[in-house]
Amino acid sequence: TPLQNSLSEFYSCV
């Protein structure tokens, strides 16, 4: 089954 990514892997927190 595919793993769900997390948004923080794509965008940095500001």
Partner 1 sequence: MFEALLGNGLILKKIIESIKELVTEVNFEVTSEAISLQAMDASHVALVVLVLRASEFEEYRCDRPQTLGVSITNLAKLLKIAGNDDSIILRAEDEAHVLTLVFTGKNNEKMCEFNLNLLTLDSEHLGIPEQEYSAEVTMSSSEFSRICRELTQVTDTLNLSVDKESVKFAVSGDIGTGSITMKANNSDKSEEKLILNVSDTVSMAFALRYLNLFNKASSLSDEVVLSLSPEVPVVLKFAFDLGELKYFLAPKIAE
What is the chain's length? 14
Distances in Å between the Cα of 1 and the Cα atoms of 4, 6, 12 are 9, 16, 27
Size of the site for partner 1 (CB under 8 A): 14
Q: Give the footprint of partner 1 on residues 1-14 (CB under 8 A).
A: 1-14
Minimum distance of partner 1 from residue 3's CB (angstroms):
6
Q: How far apart are CA 4 and CA 11, in angstroms?
A: 15
Minimum distance of partner 1 from residue 1's CB (angstroms):
7
Interface residue list for partner 1 (CB under 8 A): 1-14
